[in-house]
Amino acid sequence: MSTGELVIEGLRAGIPGREILRGVTLTVRSGEVHAVMGPNGSGKSTLAHVLMGRPGYEVLDGSVTLDGIDLLSLPTWQRARAGLFLAMQHPVEVPGVTLIESLTAARPGVPAEEIGATDAGIGERLHEEARRIGFDERFLDRPLNVDLSGGERKRNETLQMGVLRPRFAVLDEIDSGLDVDALGAVGRRVEEATAEWGLGVLAITHFRRLLDVLHPDVVHVLSEGRVVATGGSQLAEIVDRTGYAAYV
Ligand code: ADP
Ligand code: MG
């Protein structure tokens, strides 16, 4: 069971000439679920991208550490090796690379010279995870996300998280595009991971429905690049009822 913390402090970041995140501070501990809600354009995906080190974004100030390791100074693949995982809001198609190839390369602790070698153990875990969330096993040998529907891609992201077992997962609208049954299965899988190996979760979402399954310990509302409210799960219910108007 992993223990540790992902600490975001005073994070200011954006694209050249425009500050989008204007001082974000929050700490996720192992086993905790933090929800981040907020209106369109408030900077939620930017936060996810800056945490993972997507090119094109600049960090202006602040720090992000995972168990004291300074993530912002590392390239994306080393952030992943340190235990950070991102499920993207819009997962991209990667023609020519199968899921098993990408997971074999991504699994933690693999020496660089072994990247590309196929790990038989991963195949078994893939099938087990696929069954847990109802992901069609015929997709496992296909190129990553190619010709998958929006909901299938979201399940695919969840599957990768289950196989890789990261220490912290940032889930950017993992619920968008999922039907109600898939939403339940994905939410339960993530919730179980918090107990199975102490996964810490930063779940970006607009909808309470995900949070009914994935019980958040803490809910944050992001508006114009700042955390403007933090509370328990009742905050998600208030937002669900009244919208964001009170917070912007
Ligand atoms: P959210 O995920 O909360 O809807 P985003 O983080 O995607 O919001 O975007 C916040 C704001 O920053 C939006 O106005 C968006 O258009 C802008 N933005 C984000 N990333 C980029 C980018 N790479 N280039 C230009 N504008 C961007
Ligand atoms: Mg977004």
Ligand nearest to the CA of 89: 2
State the distance between the two ends of the chain, measured CA to CA, in whole angstroms.
39
Spacing, Cα 45 to ligand 1 middle (Å): 7
Domains of the chain: 5-97+166-247 (3.40.50.300)
Tell the residue nearest (CA) to atom 21 of ligand 1. Answer: 15
Q: Over the chain, what is the mean pLDDT?
A: 92
pLDDT for position 47: 98
Site to substitute for ligand 1 among 37, 45, 176, most atoms within 8 A of C-beta = 45
Query: Does the global pTM surpass 0.85?
Result: yes
How is residue 131 written in tokens?
A: 């069954």
Q: What are phi and psi of 172, to 5 degrees?
A: -95, 100
- Ligand 1 pocket, residues with Cβ under 6 angstroms: 15, 20, 38, 40-46, 56
Report pLDDT for 26. Answer: 97
φ/ψ (deg, to 5) at 23 = 105, 75
- CA of 67 relative to ligand 1 center, distance in Å: 28
Q: Residues 222, 24: contact at Cβ < 8 Å?
A: yes
> In whole angstroms, what is the distance from residue 56 CA to residue 91 CA?
18
Record the tokens describing residue 38, joined without a space: 């907020």
Q: Whose CA is nearest to atom 25 of ligand 1?
A: 15
Given a contact cutoff of 8 angstroms between Cβ atoms, the answer to whether 63 and 232 are in contact is: no
Predicted pLDDT of residue 119:
57
Model confidence pLDDT, tens digit, residues 54-75? 999 999 999 999 999 999 999 9
Determine the pLDDT at residue 179: 92
pLDDT at 109: 60
Return the pLDDT at 85: 97
How large is the greatest C-alpha to C-alpha distance in the chain, in angstroms? 54
Kindly give the distance from the C-alpha atom of residue 86 to the centroid of ligand 1, in angstroms, as a whole number. Answer: 17
Pairing of strands 18-29, 84-87: unpaired
pLDDT of residue 112: 53
Q: In the prediction, which pLDDT does 247 show?
A: 86
Look at residues 92, 186, 184 and name the one whose alpha carbon lies nearest to residue 147. 92
Burial class (CB in 10 A: 0-12, 13-18, 19+), 209: middle
pLDDT digits (tens, 9 = 90+) for 117-136: 555 578 888 999 999 999 99
DSSP string, 43-71: SHHHHHHHHHT-TT-EEEEEEEEETTEEG
Low-confidence ranges of the chain (pLDDT < 50): 116
CA of 44 to the centre of ligand 2 (A): 5
CB 36 within 8 A of CB 222: yes
